[in-house]
Structure 1
Amino acid sequence: MVIFHEEGTGRAVRFDCSDLPVAEPVRRWLVEVLAERAGPRSGVKRAKSFRSSFQTVRDFARALGSSEQPPALPSDISAVHIKAFRSLFPDPQAQRTCVHRLRVVLRDRTDLPEAARRELFGTRVATKKVSEQVTAYSELEWQQIMTALRRDVRLCRDRIRSGIRLLERFRSGDLEEGTRAAELGLLLDCLIRTGDLPRQSDGCGTDIVKRYGGVTAVVRMLTLSQQEASAFALLLAALTAENVGTIARWPALHRRPDGASENLSVALVEQRKPRRGPDREHRVVAVEDLPVSLRSVLERAYGSEPLFHSPLRVYELLLELTAPARLISGLTGAFVHRRLSNPAGRDSLWSQEIRVERWARTRGFPPVNHEGKGGLPGVDVRRVRQTALEIQRRPVSHTRNTLRDHYLRRSETVREQSQKVVAEALEEEVGKARALAGVVVLPPRLLELATQELEAAATEAGLAPHTLKGLMTGEQDTAVVACLDHHDSPHALIGQACPASFLNGCLNCVNARALPHHLPVQTVLYDRLAALRFNLDPQLWQARYAGPLARLDDILGHYSAAERDRARSSVSPSQLLLIDALLEGRTDLR
């Protein structure tokens, strides 16, 4: 028998393991596994969550007991038994869920045999279908939800502030005795002092209470309803991208980093995530205000609406509106509210429970599984957080890898944007590569034509006849290519001589043209640059010589291997000296 004690309620729930269909030593081992899962160092804090682990262990025991060779001892559990467990779930999604749960249950068991551990943790299971993954709301759906949330917050703000002002005027003696305002102020004072209103013997409010709308109407003048508290929680979740369940446990206490009490820009709030375990369940979250520049822009556009765009201002408003409820109830949470009635088994009318589905239903939103009815989306807290994270694009209570691999990876919007960004980057790099390897090579056929019909060859090359003639005679040679006009360079003002390097500049210039008589220098220079790769620091070689080598490679690609070999063997001593000067930088302007 495993007894699980809920952390929040203290309720003890018994889980009977006596009927597990395995040998007694294996049964004791499985009970130990469950006992560790139910222990104080586990991240499981509710019986409902523990029940899934219990059912997973029962399924695992069923697979062990029904196998051809049931294990007599825990050390007999093998990879075959893990495969038998997976075979219990023919549906890929059910298999994925159950295998994941078994991994969580057994991940800390060092006595699990190695073969079984490899099979359990090393084998990939079916991936979740994209259609079943949590998706973000569209812009229209998001605005519909946010509009409803802000409307609720605005209405309860105006109502409770009005009630607090009336109570203050009553206590200061500003209200004339016998007036309706004075009578209502007296009722509010009674509510603050006693926690309730005058009632008749049947539990209903007295006549004076009924005159002002009844118990609920008067109480609501100083307290939130559960739906309004849920609206606050959802709005904060949408603004901070935190989990709604985590926000619902926020305390009313916070601290400012610099110790000041006015003009807050950030409040540090301690929050708990019990499923992380006792070592990591406590975390301090920074609830931030909008930047001053953004807040001023929103104030000019929407008046007071920036209040509902700032997580800090919404949190401060929540504390302001729930202060009377905390004073009456003695509770310390940020979301204290008054129930309409006292449900069975409840000791108090005051609660901090958040019910998002009830808020959505009372505001006309359809259930999540009937989404789209009436033109409104279903309100799913998972989709709220997914949408907020896609908007913010920064990790919230998780690592950057989790944000990237879990939340953003499953987003269709992010995938489309990422594909666009990658495509633009690839196009840019392709453009750069083409520009780097963009030296125009004039083929021998064109030069032979020029010796007979200069104008026709020049027209085909897109050059003036005298320019083509200068290229052929070598009058416009630089070092490894020829230049159309060194006074019309992209590296200098028009009319000025080009100052670019013969090695890097000329090979990356729109004026550059490669002719067959340059091939000996180009082939030997290519060989020298390639050899330097293994004799220089990789980063230094990449910065100096990777570009020229790529452009030379593109030029040499226009010739056959035999042509390159003949050119390599025909290089002259003066050309070798030129190559040395290029590599040593003696041809560059200092």
Structure 2
Amino acid sequence: MNRTGRGSTRPGVRAPLPSGAYAPSSVHRVSSADNPVVEFEGEDGRRRTFDFAQCPLPGWHPVLAEVLAQRVGPAGGLRTSTSSLAAWNNLRAFLRFLQARIDCPGDPSALTVAHVNAYTAAEIARAGPVYGARRADHVWRLLRLEPAASVIDAGAIGALRLRGAGTPGGGTPGYSDGELALIVDTARRDVMQLRDRLQATETLLGRLSLDPARLTDIERADALRLAEIAAEGVAAPGRGQGFNAHRSRQELAEPLFVTRRDVPAMLVLLVAVTGRNIETVKELPAQHRLLDGRAVEVQLTKRRRGAGRWVQTVTWEIGPPGRELHHPGGVYLLLHRLMACGRELSNGPSSFWAVWRNLRRQVSATVNEIGNPFAAALTAGIDARQWGLDQHRLRGDDGQPLPVSFKRLRTSVEVRRTRALGGHLPSAARSNTAAVLFRNYLQADPVAREWAQEVASDAIAAAEQAALDEHRSALAGPARPTVSGQPSMSLDASHQGGQEGPWSACRDVSSHPATGRACRSSFLDCFQCGNCLIDSSHLPRLLALLIALEQRRQQMTEERWWARYGPAWAAIRSDVLPRFTPAEVARARLAQVPDALLDLVDEPWEHP
């Protein structure tokens, strides 16, 4: 390629290409001990090495190494360290199970359906039907690939696919409003104490550099010691040994750096104000862009979104002065500033997290004790449960200890945002689809269910009240049906123009009270008409009509049902039935009547 620089490509001129064929580097290699090895480098930058020397049954190794390389390679579906490790661990467990059998298959071609059935039964007995099926599914996704699929019996591979095993319950329930407020307020108070602690040291060091003569001897000695630690990032071990030395080093570093004890409260507050999951929070970048001093723009890592969709740009509001800790941008910038000193001393300045590590061994001034605790693995041994129970002894609404879970915290945040947006899932689904939001966050949460039931009840009550109001307004005019408990009243319809209907009688079908012309209204509109005559002989058919209307209500939306059948249902329930005694209604329920004939009022294309 010798065409470089501006103008080297333009319409009609092909882009320069490297000479020779492109050969991507292989993730599958053979170790010095002739064992297959698969190298993994994920989208999150983490690497792993899967050495088949750790697995039994050497006859399986060459085939399994090739299919594993496909799954965890650049074009595979497993692109995170955790997911690749899950596939590897389940594959090793599968080989260990086969090795323990009397009829152990020494190579893939000897695997039978009986082997697989015994393996799946053992996994289900150990982990339950749902997670046992998941473990078998990891193995199935490997063995269905070539070259394993061509040497293993197809029936044995298919037996690994346990259909109908189900999935774990629809999400994790969140916290109540009181519990959520308690957790967030506690985390915010811890972050404020952390801010005050580091700012006090920053003020002391500033006074030392500006006018050390104004400091007392004790303040000067403390400031010099802290300045030395800040320059090297190392807290010298105390005179004691064991736990005493560990605690003394912790006390030396806390005035200057964010320590591991501070991280749980920071994580809780970030998840609560940003509404992002804990994985995204742990991989926050240090790079950001301020927008007019009112917002901050950050590129987030959103896992499990498919190739090329891992990065998402968000804009977080900073908030007004004094309220920064209630807004995601304000929390991000504050924590970014608190870890700035440690970030300068760490080896990863691009990472948001720069936490001081209290090493349990003798260290020299050249050892860096500050770094990203989530660089190697996202777990990092930092537990919010211990922070809530041991450090703060949080109690729930029932008075019992309240464990802090990031899954429950995220669910609570999603529920509150959905409720604030009126339950409109497409608007509330910020980092997931509406289906994922409902299935994983809203479906199993009691607060969301209670709120949704209240909204649905209010909507139904409002629709019912609207139908009743419409019926009462119709009754206020001259058009009012006549109801009587005497069965002979319908005989009045035998005079000229009278006619019997499916649920009532009509005085004169040739003259509608409102128009004076022949009636062309639906039979359901008779209940709003002054020509309508209802007596006790119609009562059984009216009760059958109510049953049919309730059945039709289950087949269509509430809005459509109230618009189509609501006025008639309201008229019968509120104006007709109260005119009869309870004994008459009970007697009519026992009468045998034909079908309610509701289809008479619907065209064929209007059927639900």
TM-score range for the pair, normalised by the shorter chain length: 0.5 to 0.7
1:247 to 281, 286, 293: 281
Alignment of 1:104-253 (within 5 A): 104=138, 106-107=140-141, 109=144, 112=149, 123-128=163-168, 134-173=172-211, 175-176=213-214, 179-196=217-234, 203-204=237-238, 216-253=250-287
Q: 2:134 aligns with which of 81, 100, 110?
A: 100
- Give the structure 1 partner of residue 357 of structure 2: 339
| 2:331 equivalent in structure 1 | 314
Helix, strand or coil for the counterpart of 1:190? helix
| Residue 19, structure 1, aligned to residue 56, structure 2 | yes
Q: Which residue of 1 aligns with 2:513?
A: 477
Amino acid in structure 1 at the alignment position of 2:190:
D
Counterpart contact for 1:436–1:550, Cα < 8 Å: yes
- Cα displacement (A) at 1:386: 2.1
Q: Secondary structure in 1 aligned to 2:444?
A: coil
Contact 2:257 2:342 in 1 (8 A): yes
Contact 1:169 1:175 in 2 (8 A): no
Residue number in structure 1 paired with 2:11 = none
**1:514 matched residue in structure 2:** 532
CA contact (8 A) 2:258 2:355 kept: yes
Structure 1: gaps (5+ residues):
206-212, 453-467, 484-501, 517-541, 565-590
Could you list the per-position Cα deviations for residues 375-425 of structure 1 after superposition, in whole angstroms to 9, with x for gaps in the alignment?
Answer: 431122222222222222333532221111222122233233334444554
Q: Aligned in 2, Cα 1:58/1:178: closer, same or farther, shift over 3 Å?
A: closer
Q: Contact conserved, 2:270 with 2:328, CA < 8 A, in 1?
A: yes
**Alignment check: 8 A CA contact 1:238 1:384 kept:** yes
Q: 1:390 aligns with which of 415, 418, 424?
A: 415
Larger radius of gyration: 1
Alignment check: 8 A CA contact 2:345 2:368 kept:
no
Alpha-carbon RMSD across the aligned residues, in angstroms, is 5.4
What is the identity, as a one-letter code, of the residue corresponding to 2:78? G
Are 1:43 and 2:78 counterparts? yes
**Equivalent pair of 1:236/1:315 in contact (CA under 8 Å):** yes
In the alignment, the residues of structure 2 paired with residue 339 and residue 52 of structure 1 have an alpha-carbon distance, to the nearest angstrom, of: 28
CA shift, 1:318, in A, is: 0.2
Residue deviations 1:261-306, cap 9 Å, x none? x422242233353x6665333333443445xxxx6xxx9xxxx4x3
In structure 2, what residue type is equivalent to 1:145? I
Letter in 2 for 1:283: Q
CA gap 1:435/1:187 in 2 versus in 1, 3 angstroms: same
Q: Distance in 1 between matches of 2:470 and 2:408?
A: 47
Flag the 1:176–1:339 CA change in 2: closer, same or farther, 3 A: same
Q: SS in structure 2 opposite 1:128? A: coil
1:446 CA drift (Å): 5.5
Unaligned runs of 5+ in 2: 1-35, 240-246, 375-379, 419-427, 475-479, 495-504, 535-558, 573-592, 598-608
Deviations 1:91-123 (A, max 9, x none): 495331132244355448455588778766682
- Which of residues 304, 310, 315 in structure 2 aligns to 1:281? 310
How many Å apart are 1:342 and its aligned residue? Answer: 4.8
1:329 pairs with 2:354:
no
Report the residue type matching 1:341 in the other structure: L
Deviation at 1:135, TM superposition (A): 2.4
1:491-530 matches, cutoff 5 A: 507=525, 510=528, 512-514=530-532
1:368-379 superposed matches below 5 A: 375-379=400-404
Q: How high is the sequence identity, in percent, across the aligned residues?
A: 22
The equivalent residue for 2:577 is: none
Structure 1, 101-110 or 155-164: larger mean CA deviation = 101-110
Counterpart amino acid of residue 312 in structure 2: R
Equivalent residues of 2:354, 2:372 under 8 A apart: yes
Task: Go from structure 1 to structure 2 and tell me whether the alpha carbon gap of 1:509 and 1:281 turns closer, same or farther (over 3 Å shift).
Answer: same
Q: Compared with structure 1, are the counterparts of its residues 364 and 418 closer, same or farther at alpha carbon in structure 2 (3 Å cutoff)?
A: closer
Kindly indicate whether the alpha-carbon contact (under 8 Å) linking 2:55 and 2:95 is maintained by their aligned counterparts in 1. no
Other structure's SS at 1:89 match:
helix
Matched residue, 2:14? none
How far apart in 2 are the matches of 1:422 and 1:441? 35
Cα-to-partner distance string for 1:501-549 (whole Å, 9 max, x where unaligned): x869x94985654359xxxxxxxxxxxxxxxxxxxxxxxxx99xx9599
Report the equivalent of 1:458: none
Instruction: Give secondary structure in 2 for the equivalent of 1:283.
Output: strand
CA distance in 1, matches of 2:353, 2:73: 29
Cα distance change on mapping 1:92 and 1:19 into 2, 3 Å: closer
Is the contact between residue 146 and residue 235 of structure 1 (CA under 8 Å) also seen in structure 2?
Answer: yes
Q: CA deviation at 1:432?
A: 6.8
Other structure's SS at 1:125 match? coil
Residue type of the alignment partner of 2:514:
T
Taking the aligned partners of 1:367 and 1:94, their CA distance within structure 2 comes to: 35
SS of 1:378's equivalent?
coil
Distance 1:278 1:68, change over 3 A: same
User: 1:152 Cα shift?
Assistant: 1.2
Number of equivalenced pairs: 465
Residues 1:52 and 2:94 are matched in the alignment: no
- Which residue among 287, 291, 297 is the counterpart of 1:267? 297
In structure 1, how many angstroms separate the alpha carbons of the residues matched to 2:469 and 2:337? 63
Whether 1:353 and 2:373 are equivalent positions in the alignment is yes
Find the partner of 1:407 among 441, 446, 450: 441
**C-alpha separation between the residues in 2 aligned to 1:114 and 1:436?**
67
Q: Any conservation in 2 of the 1:137–1:384 contact (CA below 8 Å)?
A: yes
Alignment of structure 1 residues 415-426 onto 2, 5 Å: 415-426=449-460
2:298 is matched by which residue type in structure 1?
L
- The answer to whether the 8 A contact 1:366-1:377 is kept is no
Q: Deviations over 1:165-211 (max 9, x none)?
A: 222233233753664444433334333433346x6xxx548xxxxxx
Q: Could you tell me the TM-score, scaled by structure 1's length?
A: 0.61
Deviation at 1:427, TM superposition (A): 5.5
C-alpha change, 1:362 and 1:429, in structure 2 (3 Å) is closer
Distance (whole Å) between structure 2 residues aligned to residue 514 and residue 327 of structure 1: 88
Contact 1:237/1:243, CA 8 A, preserved across alignment: yes
CA-CA distance at 1:19 after TM superposition: 2.7
Report the alpha carbon displacement of residue 236 of structure 1 after superposing the two structures with TM. 0.3
**One-letter code aligned to 1:270:** L
